[in-house]
A and B are shown apart, each in its own frame.
Chain A
Amino acid sequence: MMPVKSPSLKLFCLSSLPLTVAIALFAGVASGAPFVSAPQDKIDACVLKKLQELGIQPSEICSDEVFVRRIYLDVIGTLPTAQEVRDFLADKRATKRELLIDQLLTRNEFADYWAMKWCDLLRVKSEFPINLWPNAVQAYHRWIRTSIKSNMPYDRFARELLISNGSNFRVPQVNFYRAVQNKTPKALAQTVALTFMGARIEQWPEAKQEGMAAFFSQVGYKATSEWKEEIIFFDPSSSNAQMSATFPDGKAIEFTPDQDPREVFATWLVGSNNPWFSRCIANRSWSWFMGHGIIDEPDDIRPDNPPVNPELLAYLESELLSGRYDVKRLFAMILKSKTYQRSCISKSNTPEAERNFAFYPVRRLEAEVLIDALNQITGATEKYSSSIPEPFSYIPENQRTITLADGSISSPFLGLYGRSARDTGQERERNNEPNASQRLCLLNSSHIQQKLEKGDKLVSLFLEHKKPQREKVDALYLTILSRYPTIEEAKVLSEYQQDVMEKRRVAKDIVWALINTAEFQCRH
């Protein structure tokens, strides 16, 4: 985008600094900042090395306008307000991108958005086919969100999910073993492997599957007199119980009668010598920001699906280990890299260029993020309710969609835009592919038209007589597209206003057109 006025356009961006200066800068930032910046330059070095080998030219570093929108959407699943965009663009500090990243990582919306993503993987929903039921969903979601908010080390997060015992209402972590379609030891092992090892063990040889399943052969479930309460416990008397098991790396083990095999497994899983565990989360983290994994799909790790850039993945893994599984630190490192901050305007369109991260990939916004963005800019709200248990529960209308705990609480919009069904825990369950029904919805449905009619925050701004025309158009662009309009765009709008005399209609049409641009519907 070539903005008409962009105070920061001429400002240098970090990428243009010599390496040593950049490192010194980060060291300076790190002393007072909560997240100690790792030298993300190593990330860029790994990526550039591979691109050079392939003879692929990476795209330029993106503009501040593109960056501010991208970083808000990627880190907190939320569109920046017009004021936030103005402030960032006007900021003259050299480290303003890093400062914004650090600041966003502490926002409440960070916990909301990443809890939403984790609830997809952990299958948090009340109804069929997961059937956690509402009380347990609320408890589980709250625990997940709190863990993210407090930046619980990831190894502890996994361990607590794997070994906890108790009531699904009081010990929320036990819901991990309830959020499955099938509670046989093998099905539990499949879920554990998918979630924490990024492996689909259905594809393993039968004996290897059985070997891992044995670790989950003593998981007990029992009901209480409370409606839908369930206790998950270590149950050595289970009819499934097996006294020996084989780790996925082939090592066999015998259990003593008082040993909960889940603990044995968890200790093996999060152990520092285990490549499965750190690789999976390092690769997932990368894929969440870069659109696809170094191993892709990120939850299909197997020997015949090698990483496109082994050095890069190994580096991310080692940083995760040296940072003691501080996932936020890893996020910050990825976000501060040039690789992440590259423009989507690619210099090479080959699949190889995309696969090797030569540019930032354009992707349609997730269902929840898109509807929240539409509500944020128009001032409208959504109505969500749960029909179980009776009497119905109604979610307060001003609550944002990314904060919904329950995958069973939905709307036609969320279904249409491919929100995860949360049935399997696979990443691909969320579908961000565009289709024609979605376009019909955004172009012409009563749901969206009513937001333009009734939630007319922007429309009324446009009808205010006092403000100069220029300012009004700026405000629309900053609010909806997080940037100033170009000269050409400003001209198109002023012509449209001359053609269409009715002011109210003009205002609505412009808002309508901007939310229907690809630029609005996608992260770019």
Chain B
Amino acid sequence: MFGTAGLCLADTLTWGATPMVSKGGKAKSVIQIWLWGGASHLDTFDPKPEAGNEYAGPFKAVETNVSGIRICELLPLLAKQADKYAIIRGMTHGSNAHETGTYMVQTGRKAGERVIYPGVGAVVSKFRGADAGYKGQIPPYVVLTEPLGRFDEAGFLGANYKPFATGGDPSQPKFLVEGVAAQGITDEQQQERRALLNKLNTLPKKLPENATLKALAHAETQAYDMILGEGAKVFDLATEKEELREQYGRSKFGQSCLMARRLVEKGVPYVTINYNGWDTHKDNFTTLRRKLPEFDKGLATLIKDLSDRGLLSSTIIWCGGEFGRTPKVDFSAPWNGGRGHWGAAFSTLLAGGGFKGGHVVGETDAHGERVKNRPVSPAEVHNSIYALMGIDEQVKRLQPANAEPRDTPVIPFNLLKEIL
């Protein structure tokens, strides 16, 4: 409220104010593809065709361009680029609840501690954004398009580290980013309104030194940079080649992948694509027959596009959900070939930013039910991302303000050494 705390307030308002350059790290940005609901590991990156129809269902496995690595046949484009990504098949946390699973996969912490931890996006946006001299006109943590919900992304870091959710739909003719573009209001009208507001906004003139009012004014300047400045242009997908837009797929997901690439090009450190529809209790196979080709197109093109532009080496792609799905298929009504929640074993894909492609980490048993070799906790994935970004030392010291060491149980900082 005052004194040194007042200074902190001012700092956290900018999207980049205090230059504090963190050491090295190849990775500059993360694109997180969040498969909300929990994608079936058996039907994506950990196929078990030998387990029979009862487990594998109707889908077959297909060889990738890396010998010995097979993925689901409905992901043919990704199968051609297995050398560019690693598959973590040993993911496990044991929770079968969406909220708890999400919390654990996003924060790397167990649920039930007194402190609510921030997710990876908020942590990166702190150490690569606000606290690291980030000067972009786009907020450092962007979600395409809807917030995750049921999960407080910023935890104890607070509201200023929450993501900017774009709203809108990038596959529509005009991507109306919430707050940045207002339908039916021209730039000229925006300018006129702004001038009117300046004349009527009298309180700050009476209190020029007030910290709250200064913070409000600063926030407004930043907002106008997005509305009237260069910020808005990054969201205009019309400047991309038609051919490329087709390759990504004209779906909301496909165009979100393209949007994510554009944001990363502008230096945005963390972009989450919130991709829902993976909670396939019912009709798992019918749903995935429709969904996997869309997923394949978007993700495979994103990897290729980033690679073609020389951005893959500095951009981490992290793709996965809160858990996997029950390996044994429930063919009875009303599930009709459905799969439940499965936190004991699931898969995650990691690419770029220094992660070695063409590798598989961890192995599940013959039915994909348990991790047989090399179990991997969500925290190991996060730690590896932090290490590649060169912010691991800062993350290790991250604590809520005023916290005693006792508040924050120290967990070992393990890494995915196999692919670093």
Q: Report the nearest A residue to B13, measured CB to CB.
A: A435
- Report yes or no: B99 in contact with A127, Cβ–Cβ below 8 A: yes
Q: What is the 8 Å Cβ interface bit string for chain A, positions 164-202, against chain B (1 contact, 0 not)? A: 000000000000000001100001001000000000101
Could you say which of A345, A421, A434, A499 has the most chain B C-beta atoms within 10 Å of its C-beta? A434
B226 at the interface (CB under 8 A from A): yes
CB proximity to A under 8 Å, residues B163-184: 164-165, 167, 176, 178-183
- Please, which residues of chain B bring their CB within 8 A of the CB of A292? 1-2
* B80 CB to nearest A CB, Å: 39
B23 at the interface (CB under 8 A from A): no
- Please, which residues of chain B bring their CB within 8 A of the CB of A517? 197, 200-203
Partner of B158, one of A296, A431, A492, A524: A431
A443 at the interface (CB under 8 A from B): yes
* B155 CB to nearest A CB, Å: 9
* A370 CB to nearest B CB, Å: 13
Stretch at the interface among A79-87, A357-365, A458-466: A357-365
Q: What is the 8 Å Cβ interface bit string for chain B, positions 147-169, against chain A (1 contact, 0 not)? A: 10010100000111010110100
Q: What is the 8 Å Cβ interface bit string for chain A, positions 496-524, against chain B (1 contact, 0 not)? A: 10011000010001101110111101101
- Please, which residues of chain B bring their CB within 8 A of the CB of A500? 192
- Report yes or no: A513 in contact with B196, Cβ–Cβ below 8 A: yes
- Report yes or no: B216 in contact with A521, Cβ–Cβ below 8 A: yes
Partner of B203, one of A438, A496, A499, A524: A524
A436 at the interface (CB under 8 A from B): yes
Partner of B159, one of A431, A441, A505: A431
Q: Report the nearest B residue to A300, measured CB to CB.
A: B402
Stretch at the interface among A96-104, A245-253, A412-420: A412-420
Q: What is the 8 Å Cβ interface bit string for chain B, positions 123-153, against chain A (1 contact, 0 not)? A: 0000000000000000100000001001010
- Please, which residues of chain A bring their CB within 8 A of the CB of B416? none
- Report yes or no: B159 in contact with A435, Cβ–Cβ below 8 A: yes
A445 at the interface (CB under 8 A from B): yes
* B159 CB to nearest A CB, Å: 4
CB proximity to A under 8 Å, residues B86-101: 97, 99-100
| Complex Cα gap A437–B204 (Å) | 20
Partner of B162, one of A345, A416, A513: A416
| Complex Cα gap A510–B197 (Å) | 8
- Report yes or no: A434 in contact with B215, Cβ–Cβ below 8 A: yes
* Given A203-B404, A446-B178, A522-B219 contact (CB < 8 Å): no
* A118 CB to nearest B CB, Å: 20
- Report yes or no: B219 in contact with A436, Cβ–Cβ below 8 A: yes
Partner of B207, one of A346, A364, A449: A346
A319 at the interface (CB under 8 A from B): no
* Given A415-B147, A423-B116, A439-B220, A362-B213 contact (CB < 8 Å): yes
CB proximity to B under 8 Å, residues A292-322: 292, 296, 300
Please give the number of chain B residues whose Cβ is less than 8 angstroms from any Cβ of chain A in the complex.
69
A231 at the interface (CB under 8 A from B): no
- Please, which residues of chain B bring their CB within 8 A of the CB of A513? 193, 196-197, 200-201
Partner of A444, one of B150, B179, B204: B179
* A410 CB to nearest B CB, Å: 8
- Please, which residues of chain B bring their CB within 8 A of the CB of A434? 13, 212, 215-216, 219
- Report yes or no: A433 in contact with B227, Cβ–Cβ below 8 A: no
- Please, which residues of chain A bring their CB within 8 A of the CB of B112? 129, 181-182
A227 at the interface (CB under 8 A from B): no
* Given A128-B99, A128-B103, A512-B193, A345-B207 contact (CB < 8 Å): yes
| Complex Cα gap A353–B209 (Å) | 13
- Please, which residues of chain B bring their CB within 8 A of the CB of A512? 193, 197
B81 at the interface (CB under 8 A from A): no
- Please, which residues of chain B bring their CB within 8 A of the CB of A187? 114
A95 at the interface (CB under 8 A from B): no
- Please, which residues of chain B bring their CB within 8 A of the CB of A505? 189
CB proximity to B under 8 Å, residues A338-374: 344-346, 349, 351, 354-355, 361-364
CB proximity to A under 8 Å, residues B23-56: none
Partner of A128, one of B111, B139, B207: B111
Partner of A439, one of B183, B189, B219, B402: B219
- Please, which residues of chain A bring their CB within 8 A of the CB of B97? 128
| Complex Cα gap A512–B220 (Å) | 14
- Report yes or no: A522 in contact with B203, Cβ–Cβ below 8 A: yes
- Report yes or no: A291 in contact with B1, Cβ–Cβ below 8 A: yes
- Report yes or no: B216 in contact with A364, Cβ–Cβ below 8 A: yes
- Please, which residues of chain A bring their CB within 8 A of the CB of B113? 181-182
Q: What is the 8 Å Cβ interface bit string for chain A, positions 132-147, against chain B (1 contact, 0 not)? A: 0000000000000000
* Given A181-B113, A492-B196, A415-B162 contact (CB < 8 Å): yes
- Please, which residues of chain B bring their CB within 8 A of the CB of A363? 212
A254 at the interface (CB under 8 A from B): no
| Complex Cα gap A424–B401 (Å) | 14
* A511 CB to nearest B CB, Å: 11
New contact pairs (7) apart from A203-B404, A361-B212, A421-B152, CB-CB < 8 Å = A129-B103, A129-B116, A345-B207, A436-B220, A439-B220, A444-B182, A492-B200
6 interchain pairs, CB-CB under 8 A: A202-B407, A362-B210, A412-B167, A486-B202, A489-B202, A509-B193
